[in-house]
Structure formats: C-alpha cells, structure tokens
Structure 1
Amino acid sequence: MANGAYDIVVLGGGSGGYACALRAAELGRSVALVERAELGGTCLNRGCIPTKALLHAAEVADQARDAAKYGVRATFEGIDVAGVNAYKDKIVSSTVKGLTGLIKSKGIEIVAGDGVLAGPTTVRVTAADGTVRDLKGQHIVLATGSYPRSLPGLDIDGERVISSDHALKLEHVPGSVVILGGGVIGVEFASVWRSFGADVTIVEALPHLLPLEEESSSKRLERAFRKRGIKYELGTRFAGVKTTQGGVSVSLEDGRTIDAELLLVAVGRGPASEGLGLEEAGVATERGFVKVDGFCRTSVPTISAVGDLIPTPQLAHAGFAEGILVAERLGGLTPPPIDYDGVPRITYSDPEVASVGITTAAARERGYEINEITYDLAGNPKSKILGTQGEVKVIAAVDGPVLGVHMVGARVGELITEGQLIYNWEALPGEVAQLIHAHPTQSEAVGEAHLALAGKPLHVHG
C-alpha cells in the first residue's frame, strides 16, 4: 500500500500467520505479512514436514531390512545421510516455493525482516540491510511461533547437546543418543534414529512416554519401543550433563549415568514472545505466552494472537484454525470458538499414536459415566498384512456420544480423521456402527470398535 496502511498486518509467516493472511485476503482485506526467515515457519522448515520426511526414510530403511519376512530378497546396505537430507530438503524447499507463490498470488504483501510492535496499530520492521519501515494496520495479528526450550542451566551447544533444529541438520547417524523428553518430538526422533541404527535411550520425568495421551496408548508404544530396542527411563529426572571425549555423560537424579555421543533436548517449545514489544504495547502475557480469549483476542482491542505464541495445543493445524478464525472475525463473520478437544493429535513414530477427544481420566474428571472398548489390531487383516500391532480404543458416554478415540499402530494417523468427524459431530456409537467400512482396510478397526460399543461385536475376541 502506497500510504503504508493495511487492514491487517500479520507478524509471522508460519502456519497461523499465513492461514490468517490467506483467509483475510479471500475476504477482501489488504494484508501485509512480515517474516524474517522462510515462509511456513517452524512446521514447514524445522518441524512437521522435515521430521515426517525423516520418518518416511526410516520406514523405508526398516522395510528394506525386513524384506525377507515378505518373501522379497533385498539387502540393506546402510543410510546415506546426505541422500536422506537432500530428499528432506527438496520436500521442504518445493513446499516453501509453492506456498510463497500462493501467498503472492493473493495480493498479500510479504515484508522481509524482523518485526516488533511499535504501538497498538504499528509493526516496525527492520530488514536484513538495516533499513527500518513502519507498517500501519487497523488490526495486528501476532503469529511469531515458538523455539526449542531447554532446562535451567542446560546449555544447548549445537555440537554434543542439541535441539530438534540441530537434529534435522545432522550429517551423520549418531552411534548413540540420549533423548531428554518423551513427548512427541523426543519419541519421533527416537524412532528415526533407531531405524537408522543408533542406540537410543529416552529420559522422561513423568511415568509414561507421550504423557498427554491415553495411558493405554502410552503403554502400547512403550511395549513396541522395547521390542524395537529403544530404551527408556520413565519417572526419572535429569540431573546434568558433562561432555566427554566420546560425547556426553548424562547424569540422572538417582545417581546413575548414561554415556552417549549426543544429548537431544526435547523438553518442549517455548513461545517466541521476547523482544516483541508486548509489554510496551499493553499486551498481557503469562509465562511468556500471550493471553487470549476464545476468539484469539488479546488484552489490546486492535491486536490478536494465534499459534504457538498462545497457550493452546502447539499443532500446525490448530494454528491454521486460529488464523482462519481471526481472519473471519475481522472480516465481519461470526466464527465459533475452537473446541481444542476436537483437534486431532498424531505422533508419527513407528508405531504411530493418534487421538481425538478426551482420555478416560479426563472423562471421569468431568463427571461422565463411560463405556469403553479396545479393539486389538490383531483382529484386523490389513494390519496383519502390514505387520503392525496396536489398538483402537473408543470411549463413549453411557447413552451418549463418543468422547474419545485413541489409536496405536502403523498408519493410524490417517485413520484419526474419521475419529475427528465422529467426535466433532457428537456421533453415538450405534450411529457409527451403521456405517459400512471397506474391507480389508485398517479403517474397519474403527468400525469394529463402534460395533462392539453398540453391543453387536463382530471380530472381537474376549
């Protein structure tokens, strides 16, 4: 805009920011999108997309190793890390290119540089060459994302002690790794490195891997990891790390030590809120997160915030939904608030863990009387063909709708979409039981679980 005034200035070109910019442009608003690095943010450049590419390479390695099981003669000769990285980087760069083209085609102005708030309707952008430009917007949307967190006193040096950002750029397969944190990021890297041949130990302070998931899903994953030779120390606190000649020596609170080549710190991601000028602009924060209401409005009427910067699930698809919600609200529509229980969650390890809705514990805490059924994938022919083990667990309110769907097994991330529809449309088990699932597919496991919950089990043992 020649006069420098836009309807909306979006600070951050990741999932939440660019979704907001695209939807706002569709609704006829003039938009400037400020981004200091590549468009696509963490998810596309340092998160979801490159890690899933690595996980696919890991799956191919496992298939090559296990080919004889399927009567196929193949030999596994090792991992060409440069080749794996080239494959991963090509997926990322082609996706960034496509996204950049899409955003430009919608008439959104992309402003490269570091942005900070310079008031309730102004973003000050400093370009790489030092030039400064003020962007005025009737409304500002903060979407600056997150960074890999560490623990107090634990320095990430990028050499021996690394974050997920460094892990994606490794040019060799480490011989051994200790992973601090058994959440999604830690579990996914454990899965990749084990498939690539590394010796892996996860250290998790809470009693289970993926502590936010249904406990039975966590236990299934732990059993599968044990079978794969992935070691883990649960309910165990990290005490410190020293560098050694061969790598690192990680000490635990109980006095034991684990030696490895690398320590991956995967204790979660913190909001990138420092130095944004939030306090000066009057934007309220809590523990670094920007405080928002159910419509992503901050304490300042002209400023909204979305994505990892706010204390909602740190998922790209939650960011997309928040960005769209803000754009529609600013575009004069009346979007409903997001039901975060209805947002699907997937860990892309081998086996995958996927869920939507609430856990058994949460359902009981909320006062529901529940029925639940666990369908073992051992009874599902497609899962047998794929050589995967796991389960589909469905929780329903007595005489009421499905409250949660929890899955473990190969490719269940693709199945959770049906669970997401079941939960969000408040379907009754009997209604889902009426639906006919294609045979032989893994989706039948979802159908079978609902048949059993509706009191007419088919291929269910016990």
Structure 2
Amino acid sequence: MAAEDYDVIVMGTSQGGRFLPLDLAKAGRRVALVERGPLGGVCVNTGCTPTKTMIASARLAYQARRGAEYGVRTGPVSVDLAAVRERKRDMVAGARAGYAGRLGLDGLDLIAGEARFTGPKTVEVALTGGGLRQLRAPVIVVDAGTRPRPLEIDGAAEVPVLDSTSIMELDEVPEHLIVLGGGYISPEFGQMFRRFGSEVTIVQHGPRLMRAEDDDVSEAVAEVLRGEGITVLTSATPVRAEPAGEDRLRLTVRTEDGERQLEGSHLLSAIGRVPNTEALTPGEAGIRLDERGFIEVDEHLETSVPGVYAMGDITGGASFTHSSYDDYRVLHAQLVKGEKASTRGRLVPHTVFTDPQLARAGLTEREALAQGREIRVAKLPMNAVVRALETGETRGFMKAVVEARTGEILGFAVLGSEGGEIMTMVQVAMLGKLTAADMANAIFTHPLLAEGLNTLFSLFDE
C-alpha cells in the first residue's frame, strides 16, 4: 500500500492538538489529523467539561441544603443523577460540535482511526470503519494523552471498578462510594458524590492527601472533606477486593494498625493515569520513552527523533489542560511562525475544583526551602476576609511565600471560595514581577474576596 504524503501529521485532538492542525492548514500546509475517539480529547469528553458540569450540580444541592443559614427556607433536597448526567452529556456534545464545525478547511483531512508508527516519519492508521491507510510526513505531532491507571490488586477483576470516566455515567446515586487515591481527582469526585447523597470513604496510600502541596494545605483540604461527612483514611493501602453480597463489595486495606475491611456499594479507582504510548509503537520510530512510559521531549517539545514532537499529558509534564494549551503556543510559534519557543521557566498554575477551591501558582513552602532559599511565609484565614464572611464562605486560607530580602513572590496558595480566580490575580502579579509590598499597597475593590490580598501581603510588614 502506497503511503499518502502530508506536510504534517497530528495524532489526537486534545486542548493543544485540536487547534494546531487548524492553524497549519490555514498557513497552507496539508495536514492529516488522526483521532481514534471522540473529538476534543480528555478535557472535553471525560475531564474538565463533564466533571466541572457535574460539580456545579453538586454545589447547588449543597447550597440548597444550607438555605436556613441564610434565612432561606427550602424543602427536602434530592438529586436526580440521571438528569445530572444528561446535562453533562449535553455540555460535552455541545463542545464536540463546536470543534467539529471548525474542521472544514482545505488541506485538513480528519481521519478516524488509531495511528501507530511504522518508521521515524511513517504512520499506519487502522481506520474506525475498517481498513488501513499509510501516511508519511516530515513533521509529526503526538497528542495522544493518557488514560486512567488500571487497579491492580487482588480481586479487582471480581468486582465492578469505576474510573473517572465510567463513574460519570451512573444514573443512580451510590449508597456508599469508596474512592481509592488521594491526588487531585479523588477529592473532587468524593465531595461531589457526598453532596449528591452518597456515603463516601477516601482511601489514600500516602500519609496525606495531595502530596504535591504543603502539609498545612493538604490537612486543610482533608478537614473540609471530613467536615462534610467524608471519611478520609490516610496511610491505608488497598490489598484486596471481593464481592460482599448483592450489589456490595468489600475492600481490605492495610493500615498502621493492621488490616481493616470496608464495605461499600461502588468502588472508584482514582490512582493516577498512564500514557497512551503502547498502541503508538514509538519504538518503531526510535522515539525514547521515560521509565514511566511517557514520551521524552526537550524544551521545544521535540522528541529524540528530529521533526517528531509531542505535546500535552503524554509528555509526562503537568497534567493540566492549560499546560497542554501552552504546548500549543510553543509548537504554533515553531511550526506555523517559524520562530523558536520554549517551555523553559513557564509558570504553570493549577486549581482543584473542590469547594472551596484549592489553587496554587509557583513554589510551595517546602519546595522553596528545599532550594535553599531564604523565605518568609504569611497566612490569612478566609474568615478574616469581609466578603467571605458576608457570603458565609469562610473555610480555608490564603498563603504566600516570598523571598526574604527582596519581597519577590515565589509562590501563592489559596483554599477558598473562587480560589482559582484569586490565585490568578497573584499569578499575574508574579508574571509582572510585583513584590509583596506592591500587593500590600494596591487598591482592590471593597468588598471582594481579592481584597484579602491587601491584608495577606501586609503581614510581611509586621
């Protein structure tokens, strides 16, 4: 079978890979865009869009139950999970359709199928409808993403195990949801289903949740979850799963006090994600992988094979949609504009959509100390912020880490209402090289949550 020649082949349509082919086609390149699943990648189909849509429903149920705190009388609150699911599906379908409508460009061929390398610059596509196509291009971009890590404990094959994708297709609220994992995914899903009406137990192998965060931040998140009635077990290792009667399962975990058995109706595995590299057969192209199976790239996102690039989660960097979109910025500059661009030194923030939100930009206190920096740290509880008091959203705190001598802002974390929006203000200040004194002396509108930044950064003057 003769290979079809293209200028660029792009594998995958996630946040970065869905925009780059459009720009390349507009620039006159002949582009093959290969996608084995629904358009839009993880973010649109199984990540950001659906989860945040469902979290919004969960927050509304939570707020409705709090009506009496605000002098508002409401009746009994119940959740129709099938209706929540339909709203989620509608949001996803709309996002997919919006992207599909932009693909009708000359020079851009959308090929439905699974791609694999057969050489450094050659690709074979097993078409979704059957058959094969051979493609060839001097430039190839891999944007194939990741998938949930499978649960590998004794008995896992004997009980239904949900992952972050399948759990969003339930049509009834679980009686007791057991969540495995303590990263950024499990607190979101645990809190969501607790607010839907489930009993929830989170089982974390490590000594605390969210190990990338400072200890005080991790503990504050755990306190929020426990305050809503969620059981959080840390230093607890799952060792065995087994059926426990009709529609029930039993999970055995090893703790510091010995083995413990948990019974529940549903089991969610949120223990991380693995790269979609196996089906790509990167070895056929000479593409190097790291020890975890992610594609190794340099600061320009080029792999070990010149002209072959990778972007997004499959590179093993920060697994956030916005970092994938910044990868698009880097590749757009290089492949469309012919300019050099780099990922070096970029400031990648993140927000965990618990309620209140956890958001951070820059270094944690622990990271700054590990780098040998002389630092100062300030914390402000959210109950010291007027707007938080007025709205009844007083859980959490703001935390700033600054360089002791210059007042340079090294890092900022906030657990609070609209924490992501507050963090973004500080991130912009960091990009603009503003100091703690600049933030302390700035005029912010009263009464906004961001006004608390005045008070927080003023603490460095004491």
Instruction: Give the direction of change, closer, same or farther, for the CA distance of 1:237–1:106 in structure 2 (3 Å limit).
Output: farther
Identity among equivalent positions (%) equals: 31
**TM-score for the superposition, normalised by structure 1:** 0.93
Instruction: Give the direction of change, closer, same or farther, for the CA distance of 1:339–1:102 in structure 2 (3 Å limit).
Output: farther
Partners of 1:155 and 1:48 in 2: CA distance = 31
Partners of 2:378 and 2:72 in 1: CA distance = 37
Are 1:336 and 2:342 an aligned pair? yes
Partners of 1:406 and 1:32 in 2: CA distance = 42
Structure 2: stretches of 5+ with no match in the other structure: none
Structure 1: stretches of 5+ with no match in the other structure: 457-462
The amino acid across from 2:425 in the alignment is E
Partner of 2:251: 250
Partner of 1:113: 113
Deviation at 1:107, TM superposition (A): 5.7
Q: Within 5 Å, which residues of 2 pair with 1:281-360?
A: 281-286=285-290, 287-331=292-336, 332-339=338-345, 342-360=347-365
The residue matched to 1:177 in structure 2 has which SS? Answer: strand
Instruction: Give the direction of change, closer, same or farther, for the CA distance of 1:283–1:450 in structure 2 (3 Å limit).
Output: same
The residue matched to 1:16 in structure 2 has which SS? Answer: coil
Partners of 1:28 and 1:161 in 2: CA distance = 47
Partner of 1:91: 91
Partner of 1:41: 41
**TM-score for the superposition, normalised by structure 2:** 0.93
Partners of 2:156 and 2:12 in 1: CA distance = 25
Equivalent of 2:265 in 261, 282, 290: 261
How many residues of Structure 1 are paired with residues of Structure 2 in the alignment? 452
Partner of 1:276: 280
Deviation at 1:106, TM superposition (A): 8.0
Instruction: Give the direction of change, closer, same or farther, for the CA distance of 1:154–1:90 in structure 2 (3 Å limit).
Output: farther
Equivalent of 1:435 in 432, 442, 452: 442
Instruction: Give the direction of change, closer, same or farther, for the CA distance of 1:437–1:202 in structure 2 (3 Å limit).
Output: same
Q: Within 5 Å, which residues of 2 pair with 1:104-253?
A: 104=104, 108-153=108-153, 160-245=160-245, 246-253=247-254
Partner of 1:460: none
Equivalent of 2:432 in 415, 425, 428: 425
Instruction: Give the direction of change, closer, same or farther, for the CA distance of 1:356–1:123 in structure 2 (3 Å limit).
Output: same
Equivalent of 2:409 in 399, 402, 408: 402
CA contact (8 A) 2:250 2:262 kept: yes
Partner of 1:459: none
RMSD: 1.9
The residue matched to 1:289 in structure 2 has which SS? Answer: coil
1:300-330 CA-to-partner distances (Å, cap 9, x unmatched) read: 0021111111110111111111122123222
Equivalent of 2:452 in 412, 433, 445: 445
The residue matched to 2:239 in structure 1 has which SS? Answer: strand
Partners of 2:389 and 2:25 in 1: CA distance = 48
The amino acid across from 2:423 in the alignment is I
CA contact (8 A) 2:440 2:454 kept: yes
Partners of 1:103 and 1:376 in 2: CA distance = 48
1:324-352 CA-to-partner distances (Å, cap 9, x unmatched) read: 21232223112232435x11111101221
Instruction: Give the direction of change, closer, same or farther, for the CA distance of 1:257–1:215 in structure 2 (3 Å limit).
Output: same
Range 363-372 or range 440-449, more displaced:
440-449
The amino acid across from 2:397 in the alignment is E
Partners of 1:385 and 1:24 in 2: CA distance = 50
CA contact (8 A) 2:16 2:327 kept: yes
Partners of 1:155 and 1:328 in 2: CA distance = 49
Partners of 2:391 and 2:330 in 1: CA distance = 39
Deviation at 1:234, TM superposition (A): 0.8
1:346-391 CA-to-partner distances (Å, cap 9, x unmatched) read: 1101221110101111101111100111011111121122322111
The residue matched to 1:275 in structure 2 has which SS? Answer: helix
